[in-house]
Structure 1
Amino acid sequence: MDVIVKPTPSLKGQFGALSSKNYTTRYLLAAALAEGTSTIYYPAHSEDSDAMRRCIKDLGAVLEEDDEKIVITGFGRHPRQASELNVGNAGAVLRFLMGIAAFLPDVTFVNTYPESLGKRPHDDLIDALGQLGVEVEHRQGRLPIRIRGGQPRGGKIKVSGSVSSQYLSALLFLTPLLEEDSEIEVLHDLKSKVVIGQTLEVLEQAGITIHASDDYMSFKVPGRQAYQARNYTVQGDYPGSAAILAAAAVTQSDVTVERLMVNSKQGERAIVDVLQMMGVPLTHEQDTVHVQGNGKLKAVEFDGDAATDAVLAMVAAAVFAEGTSRFYNVENLRYKECDRITDYLAELAKAGARVEERQAEIIVHGRPEGVEGGVEINAHFDHRVIMALTVVGLRAQQPLVIRDAHHVAKSYPQYFEHLSALGANVEWVK
């Protein structure tokens, strides 16, 4: 389905942030890897987190869920044999489970999104699994991927971090369960280091010990560990909230978003700092962000590596800023559901934004007067692109039609419902 975003001068309202997708998927996996029963309060519901639910059930976990919580009885280090696993379009879920699949004698991850996840590479994780004695069949690093494991062994492991931190996270979930101790060395640069902090936080809560260097480039992992059954509470989601906050920043607004922890380890928390740098009137106290936007913004320069999933929303706000903004160190945006630099900027340009790209940079020449709009744009089946383009549509002079906007459900199924409740003029069309 497509959505029409019409010019909206003001937004007003209050609601609680969506639960974090990143923490939900990690807690679901940690609970599945425990022998015993864990409870996760306020888990996220999205296509990604539901993919993790589906796959851990296929591997033998028992799940019982109500409106407040999910109770999981795990399979420990003995997942049930499954001939196929379908992660949908969830890249992180695929990579985390490729690690756990090392315990299975033969499993194939199928390709149901050939135009999105099916195009994304996983070579670096495949190479690392090979060092554990796991055989992997693949098509130039892409789905479908067949894993023949059963007897993974620890030791010295090298993994590149230059494309994604998810490969490292997969190894950090797996290696504590191996018989041998492991040493993991990260090659090249490590993208999205802050997300590794989230993984380590969840592992610590699950009773796992990992010794990490200060720069997260090397890890010592004792083997023969066991995940402990625990109770977890999922915090509010900054990546999804980033677009809501950006929308409030570019309009006349009085918007309050609750459940956004002030001291969260989510790198996308930086959306609050960046909007403040842009001169947006807002406060962040007692885990609540209050934006009283006036539509006036200043240009910024920002290193986006630590806040990958909020950069597109920041760029959308910068479209209307006074001056030229620069978002650098963002090359890993190219390896997401689409090329979030080339593809996103092409659609912004269609709408009337003045943007430039470099290999690892996005440059925005702001238009405080607004953009023309009045066009149909392609979100490339990418939930983050959909949300960010919507922000631009609110300040366009003519409506924007965003194609295939239903793919926002990958991370934030209620996005347009929440925006409408704030007064945004959006309409679904078939």
Structure 2
Amino acid sequence: MTHAPASASRPLTVGRPAAPLSGVIRVPGDKSISHRALMFAALARGETTIYHLLEGEDVLRTAAAMRALGAQVEQQGEVWVVSGPGVGQLSEPDDVLDMGNSGTAARLLSGILASHGIASVMTGDASLRRRPMKRVTDPLAATGATFIAREGGRLPLAIRGQANPPALDYRLPVASAQVKSAVLLAGLNATGTTRVEEPVPTRDHTENMLRYFGATVEVESTPEGGRIIRLEGRPDLVAPGEGLFVPADPSSAAFPLVAALLVPGSAITLTDVGLNPLRTGLFTTLMEMGAQVDVVEKASSGGELVGDLHVRASTLQGVEVPAARAPSMIDEYPVLAVAAAHAHGVSRFCGLEELRVKESDRLSATVAMLRENGVRAEIEGDDLVVYGTGGAIPGGGLVTTHMDHRLAMSASVMGLVARQPVRIDDTAFIDTSFPGYLALMNQLGAGFAQ
């Protein structure tokens, strides 16, 4: 599988829909959980059946990588079946592992590769090759693994792993679920207890899934509001007999959700959305802004809460979001910025330094998106300040997406409510996280011209 060449970009112009949005949809499976499902299934004994796996380009890259490392990974109709060689038993790949646009896959896989006695090389697309890896490779170097990369630890990255790595004890300087997960994944093949301390809680899908596959994981809170995670090394991971159900991705649900809140008269339902408390910061924030979102919880699966969201068009007010909430909604800030631009009053989103190292410098790109469409927005330190237009976003601008899928989708939501149509330079990369996004939004009445 290869990415479309730059000449195959897909620009899009979005205007107001002819009618309110309505309908019931299930967005694709959670991207974070899908990556981990493939990796853990490859490290477990037995055959794991995965339901609702996200089939976006990012996750397909992970599937291809695990297959190259010796796991059997097959799509059988609507499910995926994975049989792995087990912890410590991955084999050396014959070729370079191309992770495409996926920073999550590259960073998590680094932890696995560092703790296996094999040599490997990872690369990615132009966007991923610009993203820093040192914050992952620096702590992983304590395993005894060797890393050779470009300046700043950027891909391509060659790794000579350590077959008998020591357990790590690492305190994250900045909250990052990807760095935490990479260290924990390295700890799977280590003797002893791996300890990771994070300054504030980040998404805990890795911890939940480790337990689901049979690992011993203990979590405790610190007096400063952070968490300490301990993992017993070399667990006997076993494929769950009932399989693994991937919830609908709350980060993907954010786009139709915000669109329905902003387009007058809209009412939609989003089914089976993941409600992990460390992923629902956007829902909490929108409700503080006055959003009418009713949450109906359902049975949990694989340690993850799920539920249906009933969303109605609402009048929103500006809000201040504390930095401590940022990790629970880090991917949703661009579309939240669109909601803030449409709201009444000023919004301030604090502590967004992590946005500078996403698919793009997402903080600067979000401000550029708003300004290009007549919305006043400022960066003050690591804070984003958006001055609401009271439902009167001027629009009419061209949004440069920098190969960032979430910027492209956020711009499309803005186009649905702006006074003048919003132009987007490229939507091709939306498929990395949300395959079929335009078509699914059109089921609700968005009227995107494809």
Cα separation, partners in 2 of 1:183 and 1:104, compared to 1, 3 Å: closer
Residue 366 of structure 2 corresponds to which residue in structure 1? 344
Residue 311 of structure 2 corresponds to which residue in structure 1? 291
Cα separation, partners in 2 of 1:316 and 1:331, compared to 1, 3 Å: same
**2:286 aligned with 1:275:** yes
Superposed displacement of residue 409, structure 1: 0.7
Cα-to-partner distance string for 1:43-92 (whole Å, 9 max, x where unaligned): 11111111111100111111222343111110212111114211111011
Residue 202 of structure 2 corresponds to which residue in structure 1? 194
Residue 387 of structure 1 corresponds to which residue in structure 2? 409
**2:28 aligned with 1:18:** yes
**2:154 aligned with 1:134:** no
Residue 108 of structure 1 corresponds to which residue in structure 2? 121
Q: Which amino acid letter does the alignment assign opposite residue 297 of structure 1?
A: L
Residue 12 of structure 2 corresponds to which residue in structure 1? 3
Q: Which amino acid letter does the alignment assign opposite residue 308 of structure 2?
A: T
1:34 to 25, 44, 48: 44
Cα separation, partners in 2 of 1:360 and 1:67, compared to 1, 3 Å: farther
Superposed displacement of residue 359, structure 1: 2.8
Do the aligned residues in 2 keep the contact of 1:271 with 1:310 (CA within 8 Å)?
yes
CA distance in 2, matches of 1:55, 1:202: 19
Cα-to-partner distance string for 1:394-413 (whole Å, 9 max, x where unaligned): 11111111011111111001
SS in 2 for 1:373: coil
CA distance in 1, matches of 2:384, 2:15: 26
CA distance in 2, matches of 1:335, 1:174: 22
Residue 418 of structure 1 corresponds to which residue in structure 2? 440
1:224 to 200, 209, 234: 234
**2:125 aligned with 1:118:** no
CA distance in 2, matches of 1:185, 1:23: 20
Superposed displacement of residue 225, structure 1: 1.6
Aligned length: 418
SS in 1 for 2:342: coil
CA distance in 2, matches of 1:337, 1:362: 18
Give structure 1 regions of 4+ aligned residues with deviation exceeding 4 angstroms.
none
Do the aligned residues in 2 keep the contact of 1:35 with 1:73 (CA within 8 Å)?
yes
Cα separation, partners in 2 of 1:73 and 1:404, compared to 1, 3 Å: same
Do the aligned residues in 2 keep the contact of 1:183 with 1:218 (CA within 8 Å)?
no
**2:430 aligned with 1:408:** yes
CA distance in 1, matches of 2:392, 2:27: 28
Alignment of 1:81-100 (within 5 A): 81-82=92-93, 83-100=95-112
**2:312 aligned with 1:301:** no
Residue 356 of structure 1 corresponds to which residue in structure 2? 378
CA distance in 2, matches of 1:250, 1:199: 34
- How many percent of aligned residue pairs carry the same amino acid? 28
SS in 1 for 2:29: coil
CA distance in 2, matches of 1:52, 1:328: 32
Cα separation, partners in 2 of 1:177 and 1:340, compared to 1, 3 Å: same
Do the aligned residues in 2 keep the contact of 1:18 with 1:44 (CA within 8 Å)?
yes
Q: Provide structure 2 residue ranges, at least 5 long, that are not aligned to the other structure.
A: 1-9, 298-306
Superposed displacement of residue 161, structure 1: 4.2
Greater shift in the superposed pair: 357-366 or 50-59: 357-366
Per the normalisation by structure 2, the TM-score is 0.88
Greater shift in the superposed pair: 200-209 or 63-72: 63-72
Do the aligned residues in 2 keep the contact of 1:255 with 1:291 (CA within 8 Å)?
yes
Do the aligned residues in 1 keep the contact of 2:167 with 2:233 (CA within 8 Å)?
no
